[in-house]
Structure 1
Amino acid sequence: MDRSTIIDTLQQRGGFITTGEVKSRGEYEQLRRATENGTLMRIRNGVYVEISALANNMIDIERIVPHGVLCLYSAFAHYGLSTQVPSATCIAIEA
């Protein structure tokens, strides 16, 4: 899979991809190279994001924290219940 195809795949998936979604070693190497040259960013083990997808205020929580729920000031801002922009994203997780 060439680099433009990996970027197309990322854009179709909202800018995020996990290593579980990568089908071959060659595709993984494309992810690694794109991370090294600054096109992609590794935000945690196995989760990569296109830099432009981070420009949005809200990110895809489910991709980063499975079963996580947006809460507190982050939820207020997302649903338009506050005029303040939170300085961090608050996520509730299972105990």
Structure 2
Amino acid sequence: MLHHSRSTGLEMNGSPTITGNMHDGNDDDALHVQTTNTGINVKGGTYAPGRPLPMKMRQQIIEYHGSGMKVGAISERLRISHSCVCKILAR
């Protein structure tokens, strides 16, 4: 049996990742599509579109802001967008 490994991924932009083995037979399970919905933002942090920010990060935003840190500094420290910090503080 001929086996060729196949792995194509575009995880950085949240596109589907295709993994699996191609066989010379009729194997329906030979190709698996795995979707990853994470990416890297411009600050270098990871994000998952449509998913809420973890509670730990939300608490850190509030603590930093309460201690007088500016929104931009919070954004840089936690590697999340300025708008995300603003949305959390507005609630």
Normalised by the length of structure 2, the TM-score is: 0.25
Higher helix share: 1
Greater RCO between the two (CA within 8 Å, min separation 6)? 1
